[in-house]
Structure 1
């Protein structure tokens, strides 16, 4: 089954009221389907801006994605259910393990090992599902079930998404404390293997789970080769061949990028793409052409 395209816009800005409402309306006017807020210290809190966006638009809203290690599951369930009610049942709850060690340390938390972080994510997902499905839970979300996005790269996270998620978030990145931001791009072959692994473990639930990808860069240019070389020299010092082939980097003319997005869906089954606000304007012509198709 080929799903129609769906496009998300992630916003990192710390809002004031008027600017946030104006920018939310712009996101909707440009054809995006969902506005998402990430979860990083030093940036905006995830839930309050989503309520404000839903009050002035018809957009769906989501967390993209919460660091499960920061939250006590019953309190997170309360906040998510309240947000779902205040947004009229438009919340999509995105969860991940978290990776930024300085943020854990700033909260007095031990990030632990990757296994520890996946353990926390797994426990959080189980508790949230239990709370949301209990008839006596108050507040109760409008949506039953609450749409859940689980994002990650490793086998255990992808198995968790295969069992419980409504949306699997492929990130195409791997934790690397030596890289700026703590993540590095994985190879195209490894990305394809990760998608294939998910297809293997999702089994009979395959048609139920939407596939999402967080795009790392959108560059509209008539000189694709020069743009890729510039990215290699200034941002990602990895072989040019990898940059040219990576599904995480959309580079070229608008027509070329439209073709790349269609190839992502054809090759990987990924129909839901998210870009961050730095790439909103560059990606807008692609959204105009492909939204809902």
Structure 2
């Protein structure tokens, strides 16, 4: 199977819920715009993922629903398995589990949870995934999920997380960013990201073409003046890079819709990444890119 053989899939990560009417309306709108997966992140200060996803699954009978991504330190395997199985029942088998180590120190402190060293957070993630998988695959475990195997996404950037994901996940999510010891994120340049992709695919070995590879786009802007938009972001974040260096960041998509579609086709051909996630604020403006890629794949 070639790197480009898997059709594109699109997720939107929702950052707020609001009242139930507006939440249902936004979920339905995501489906109308062509997204495949409705996602909710796991951070303090925003709504809890599982209740929001249960309502989303009722609002749309087509969209898959998932966490993007759970902080492993905020749950335990038994609760994770129970919650995922419950929403899988309520959605008639449309749940996907995304989980990572967690990275924001202030959230750990607010929750009263020890902010462990990176290696120990990876250990906890690995143990959580192993136990939750074991429970969900146990025919005696209740509630029973509808899906025989709920798809698992593991997200991260470091060697150990990517190796764990490459060996055990159905979907590998690249963050395209490094994390400081205090949890601050900084984007990877194109060459650094290419090395991470090569590392993960090598770690996957014969599984590489069976895995679905995902990338979260942190910044998306459909515009005819990408340099001006890049300059605005560089000034806003006080970055020391040229507009072209900013535009070349793997987690940035700025330009005309046709150009962005072409860039994603090239990304898929060179890395195998076919599952693209964007944040809700750009849900509408990214829709023309989705439409163009559906045409290219013949999946409209």
Same fold (TM over 0.5): yes
Residue of structure 2 equivalent to 1:32:
35
Provide the C-alpha distance between the structure 1 equivalents of 2:79 and 2:272, rounded to a whole number of angstroms: 34
Residue of structure 2 equivalent to 1:163:
167
Q: CA RMSD in A?
A: 1.4
How far 1:51 sits from its partner (Å)? 1.3
CA displacement, residues 152-207 of structure 1 (integer Å, 9 cap, x when unaligned) = 001111111111100000010111367xx821101211110000001111011112
Change in CA separation of 1:37 and 1:56 when aligned onto 2, cut-off 3 Å: same
Change in CA separation of 1:189 and 1:63 when aligned onto 2, cut-off 3 Å: same
- The question of whether the paired residues in 2 share the 8 Å contact of 1:224 and 1:251 is answered with yes
1:47 partnered with 2:53: no
**Gaps (5+ residues) in structure 2?**
none
Residue of structure 2 equivalent to 1:151:
155
Provide the C-alpha distance between the structure 1 equivalents of 2:294 and 2:181, rounded to a whole number of angstroms: 36
Q: Determine helix, strand or coil for the equivalent of 1:271.
A: strand
Provide the C-alpha distance between the structure 2 equivalents of 1:89 and 1:290, rounded to a whole number of angstroms: 26
Provide the C-alpha distance between the structure 2 equivalents of 1:117 and 1:214, rounded to a whole number of angstroms: 21
Residue of structure 1 equivalent to 2:196:
194
2:70 to 66, 70, 94: 66
TM alignment of 1:277-292, pairs within 5 A: 277-291=280-294
Provide the C-alpha distance between the structure 2 equivalents of 1:21 and 1:247, rounded to a whole number of angstroms: 32
CA displacement, residues 12-57 of structure 1 (integer Å, 9 cap, x when unaligned) = 0133110011111100001100100000001010011111111121
Provide the C-alpha distance between the structure 2 equivalents of 1:224 and 1:131, rounded to a whole number of angstroms: 48
How far 1:146 sits from its partner (Å)? 1.3
2:233 to 219, 231, 234: 231
1:140 partnered with 2:111: no
- The question of whether the paired residues in 2 share the 8 Å contact of 1:7 and 1:273 is answered with yes
| TM-score of the pair, normalised by structure 1 | 0.96
How far 1:256 sits from its partner (Å)? 1.4
TM alignment of 1:88-127, pairs within 5 A: 88-127=92-131
Q: Determine helix, strand or coil for the equivalent of 2:263.
A: helix
**Gaps (5+ residues) in structure 1?**
none
Q: Determine helix, strand or coil for the equivalent of 2:209.
A: helix
1:12 to 15, 24, 30: 15
How far 1:236 sits from its partner (Å)? 5.8
* Number of corresponding residues: 291
Residue of structure 1 equivalent to 2:214:
212
